[in-house]
Structure formats: C-alpha cells, structure tokens
Structure 1
Amino acid sequence: MGSVISSFEKIMMPVAAKISSNKYLLAMRDAFSMLLPFIIVGSFFGIMEWVILDPWGTVMGPNGLNFGYALSGGLTGDAYKVSDFVAAMQSLQGLCNNVVTVGFGMFSFLLVAAFSYRLAGIWGGDKFSTALTALGAFIIVTPQQIIGKAGDKIGGFSLDYFGNRAVLSALIVATVASWIFVKLSKNKKMCIKMPDTVPPAVAKSFEVLVPVFITLSVFTIFTATLTWLGLKPLNDLIYQIIQAPLMGFSQGLGFSLLYQFVVWFFWWFGIHGHNVTAAVQNMVYMPAQLANQDGTAAYIFSNGFFEAGLMHIMGLVIAIFLFSKKESWRAVAKLGVPAMLFNIQEPLAFGLPIVLNPILLIPYILAPLANTIIGWLVISGGLVPIFRFVVPWTMPLFFGGMIGTGSLAGGLLQIVWLVVDIIIYAPFVIASNKIKDGYEEE
C-alpha cells in the first residue's frame, strides 16, 4: 500500500501542484470568489421572496406555517387571493426579485468584469481598462434583440444571456478579449501618447484608444461572420455545444463520485482538492447552482449539494470522542471542534493529522462518496428538495442543509450524513488505538 501511494505521489503531486498554482485557474477562482457576496445576497433575497413572502409559500401559505391566515385577518380561498395582504406580499416579492436578478440573472455579466480584471493583473495590463473592454466585447456577442411570441423582434437584452446559461461563454470572451487588449496595450506603437500638459485621465484614455478599437472590432467581425453564416449567437453555440452537455454529463452519479474522489484524494495528500478541481466546479456545478436558484432547472448535484457535505469530517471528530483512546487525537479533536462547526477542516487535516495518514485514507474518501450516494437517492426519490439556495459554505451543520433546500428535510439529510460518517470512521478510529504513538511519529 505504501509503495502504491509513494508511486502515485511521485507522479501526481507535481501535476497537482502545477494545476493548483496555475495563474489562469487562480484568476478564475478569484473571480468567482469576488462574486460570492452578490450570490449570497441574491440568495438571501431569494429566500425572502420564495420562502417567507410568498403568500402560498412555506411561511405564509396554508400548506406551510399558514402565517398568512393570521396576518390577513383570517381570510381564506378567493378572499385571501384578492386581499390587500397578498398584494402587499407580491409587491415586496417584486422588490426582492430585483436583487435576485443582480446576484443571479446578471451573474455572467459580472463574471466577465471580475475575471478580466484578474487576468489583467496576471498578464500585466491595466485592470480597469481591460475589464471595461471585455464587458464591451461580451455585449457585442450578445444578441440585442429578443424574438417575441409572434416572431417579431423586440429591442433589449434577454437575461438568459447574462445568467447561468452564459457562464462558459463569459469565461471564453473575457479570456480572449483580455488577452488581445493586454497584448496590444503593451505595444508602444499601438498607444497614442499625449503631451504632458494633458490631464492624466484623458491621456490614459487616448493611450488605450487603439487597443480598445481593435479588440472590439475583432468581436464585431466575428459576430457579423456568425450572422452571415446563418449560425446562432456565440452564447447559444457555446451553451448548446459545450456547457449544456457538460452540465448534463456532470449530473451522472458516476461523474459526481469521481469528482468527489479526486477532491478528497488530493486533500489527503495535503493539496487543496477544491483548487485542483476548480475548473470543473466553476464551469459545471456553479451554473447548476445558479439554475436551481432562478428556477430554470432542478439539478441534484450543485455547489450547494457538495458544500453541504463538507461536514463529513465532523463524523471523524465525534468518532474520536466516542471510540479513541489516544490522548493526542482527543486533544487535537477538541481544538478542531470550533473550526469544524463552520466546516473548516485544516486544524484536523494537518494537526491530527489526516494528511498522509494511511489509516484514515479509506474513510476520508469513503465518507463523502457515501454522502453523495445517499443524497442522490433521497433527492431523486423526492424525499428532500434540491439545494436551491446559496448559503456560505461555513454555515453550521443542519442549518446549511435546511436553508440551502428551503426545507427541514435538508437539515435532516445532513444529520443522516453525519450518522453515516460516524459509522464509517468508527472502525478506523478503533483500529488506530492499536497503533503505538512512536510508530505514528516515525
């Protein structure tokens, strides 16, 4: 076993290190991180809109807590439907929806700005000018006429081109536009120099004038070419050819289990597994989460699903308290509990340690895989709703699942996961009692 692990370490560790330290992937990860506040705020107002304020929802509706009955003065049926209370709730829902639109309906648009800003930083370009140019390129490739039901053309943009459907096209456009602009802006022959007496802001605008012109012209010619060839807009082509098939493939249980295996296997080596798989997460499971949030799809496997399962290491902590006779393990577990309450595993991963600890390799990978299978079964069977709402991954056990699904069943699912995780870790914790501390230190 040791020789197998050693061989794998020699082959894969350098590859994983290069992937996790790749500047392009780091920029992508940082871009998604920059948008996390918008996603969380949008999710909060989404919960307000669909769970709390909905006159027929979980809180107000007759099939839920039925607070609407009391707050409307005891109205039911048609009288409740046409009441001022329902009208007021629906008006508040509309206001909340405006914020949800910013966090989710405009996600890809914001992603272009954030990603191109970070790319300019790693490629040595002007961040603000690069972000503005990339946004302009994204607008150019986005259809600016919506086809109505009668086949007539209506002016304006469709949010379909700015939301979860355009995540991959946003990444591609931001990458190409930023690369072209930064390359051109670094070429002194392409920059118009103004006299020193000209205000700096004006001088800067003329300096990037030619790079902006060429970059936007490239995307204009490309979009015109697609039109002349009778092809669909770039956003639709990328979604239909690449993103939609990827998202469909990622919903298979086999792919999701492989994804979890890779994440936690690299974590066991001490490499941030989520950084290694960030491209898969951002291109597949994040769009699935966004689609769940805005109600355009119902994907089982999403960011919210996997983040709710981060607490599997709490099963190890409880198993240690119940079955471990090793004072060193119990001491580290006591110190790691406060962090694990918020799904932060590093104190245990490196303090116990879990990293490169052969006795914990199997349960450390098996527990999240078991959680994935259980979650897939109960959500597919309709016992638990999909993880629709985005919550911070640091949300404590039970509350993360309950808020993420908008249902008590989501919190109970996390409890079931925890019980299963304790059962999985227990035999290995018991076996560790027979291992001498001296051997562990060696």
Structure 2
Amino acid sequence: METENSKKKTSIDKVTDFIENKVAPPLVRLSQVRYLEALQKTFIAIMPYMILGATATLVNNLPGLFAEKTGLNLPAVSAALTSIIKPIQPTLLQIVFVTINLLALLTVVLNGYYLGSFYNKKDSDVNPVASAIVAMVSFLCFINFTNLSKNFDWPSYILGAPSMFGGIIISILSVEIYRWFIHKKITIKMPESVPPMIAGAFTSIIPVSIIVIFFSVVGAGFKNFDFLQLLNKWTSYLVIGGSGFAAQFLGFFLDRILWFVGLHGS
C-alpha cells in the first residue's frame, strides 16, 4: 500500500513539477506584460460590479425560468415570482444599467488608469488620471451623439459588454499615444515659476488635443463606418468557430491554466 501511495504521489508530484517548472513560468511572464497586467487589475476592480449586475439580471429573469412555454411550464410559480419581482424591477434594471450596461466604459477607464500607472513608474510626467480620462474620451468619440434622443438614451452596445474588446483596444492606443507625446516632450512647457499643478494641466493639452481629434475622426469622420460594430462582427466569427468541441476544450484548458497564474482567462 505504501509503495502504491508513493507511486501515486510521485505521479502527482511529476505533474505538479511540470506545471510549475514548464507551464507556469511562460504564463507568469505573459501575465507581466503591461497590457495584461493592467487588464488583470481592471477585471479585479470591476468584478464586484459584474457579480452584482449578473445577480440583478438573474433575479429579474427568474419568472421566465418557470414560464409556461419558454421555461419549466410552471405558470403558477412564474406568476408568483412576477408579483414579487415587479415592484422592485425598476431597481433591478437600474442596477443592470450601471453595471453590465456600462461594463465597456468601466473597463476603458480603469484600463487607461492602470496602464498610465505602469508608465508613471518610469516617467512621473505620465499622469494615471489623465490617462484614464483620455481613454474614456477616446472611447466616447465612437458614439454618434447627434443621434441620441432627447432622453439621452445611450446605445448599450457601445457602453456595455459587447464593445468591451474594442474599448480595450481604444484605451491601449489612446494611452500609448499620450505616453509617447509625454515621453518625447511634445508638450507645452511652462516656466519653473508656475506651480506644478498648473503646469501639469498644460502638459496634457497637446497630447490630449491630438488624441481626441484623431479618435473623433475615426469614430465619426467616415460615413457608414462604425469601428465597434465592425469589430463585433469580426469577433462573432470567432464565437462561431469556437463552438466546436476542440475549441471549447482548448478554451477551457487555457482558461484554467491562466487562472492558475492569476490571469482572468475568460
């Protein structure tokens, strides 16, 4: 028995050693890439909001689970749940709107901030807050505000989860451009007598102006061109291609491995 147990332990130890010595090191190095490091911190920060929004969505849709034709065919239970949930439905929908429906916007702001914080360690002139703001404004450049109704209805596909991937790309590009201008000293230089807070405000004028103009042109300067919708269309093919068994298994395996080294694999 002891020999068999020792063999089993040895096998487990071999697998553990293989993961720790062969698989984990490159993944750890991958997790230390500045973009992934910023995203890792971003998703950790928004996780409570994702959980809250998902919970509100689940509660709001509970009656449908027991519906007569689309659910478990328990109409009495569905009606009872509807009577309970209906009074609090406006609150649930509000929670969903400020969490799930703003997920891309939250991701853009936080990713811009954490990426700016990374560069701030190397160059103190790179302001993390300015990075977050320029990322947010660059992302908002892709909303056609002229088409918003008088009730100021935000297009949820832009601010919500469907545009998260596009938002990440926009936030990275905007912060990289901002950081490049700061690094190259393409800024307004104030006299030394000017207080640092005032001088810091003028430092960002040139980079921010160029970035906002650039993304405004890309976001609204071309007729019948919607970058976020186009990107969503391209990524939809990946979703279709990833529905097979092999792709699902590979995705699940990579997800677990990435979680093992502290990355949000999903």
For 1:63 and 1:18, the matched residues in 2 are separated by 55
Corresponding position: 1:272 with 2:221: no
The aligned amino acid for 2:131 is T
1:142 is displaced (CA, Å) by 2.6
For 1:203 and 1:35, the matched residues in 2 are separated by 33
For 1:164 and 1:49, the matched residues in 2 are separated by 18
Deviating above 4 A after TM superposition, structure 1's stretches of 4 or more consecutive aligned residues are 4-14, 52-58, 145-148, 153-156
CA contact (8 A) 1:146 1:156 kept: no
For 2:63 and 2:22, the matched residues in 1 are separated by 52
Aligned to 1:217: 213
For 1:35 and 1:195, the matched residues in 2 are separated by 40
Aligned to 1:164: 161
Alpha-carbon displacement from aligned partner over 1:174-221 (angstroms, at most 9, x marks no partner): 0000111122123334134266455x5443322211111111122123
For 2:170 and 2:203, the matched residues in 1 are separated by 23
Q: Which has the higher contact order (CA 8 A, sep 6+)?
A: 2
1:13 is displaced (CA, Å) by 5.3
Change (3 A) 1:224 1:159: closer
1:93 is displaced (CA, Å) by 0.4
Change (3 A) 1:222 1:194: farther
Aligned-residue RMSD, C-alpha? 3.8
Question: Percent identity between the aligned chains?
Answer: 16
Corresponding position: 1:255 with 2:247: yes
Q: How does 1:343-362 map to 2 (within 5 A)?
A: none
The aligned amino acid for 1:218 is F
Aligned to 1:173: 170
**Could you tell me which of 61, 67, 90 is aligned with 1:50?**
61
Q: What SS class does the counterpart of residue 106 from structure 1 fall into?
A: helix
Q: Which has the larger radius of gyration?
A: 1
Change (3 A) 1:54 1:94: farther
Q: What SS class does the counterpart of residue 142 from structure 1 fall into?
A: coil
**Could you tell me which of 19, 31, 34 is aligned with 1:20?**
31
Aligned to 2:8: none
TM-score by length of 2: 0.75
Change (3 A) 1:263 1:155: closer
**Could you tell me which of 232, 235, 238 is aligned with 2:228?**
235
The aligned amino acid for 1:234 is F
1:173 is displaced (CA, Å) by 0.1
Q: How does 1:88-103 map to 2 (within 5 A)?
A: 89-103=85-99
For 1:273 and 1:252, the matched residues in 2 are separated by 26
Any unmatched runs of 5+ in structure 2?
1-10, 121-125
Change (3 A) 1:274 1:257: farther
How many matched pairs? Answer: 244
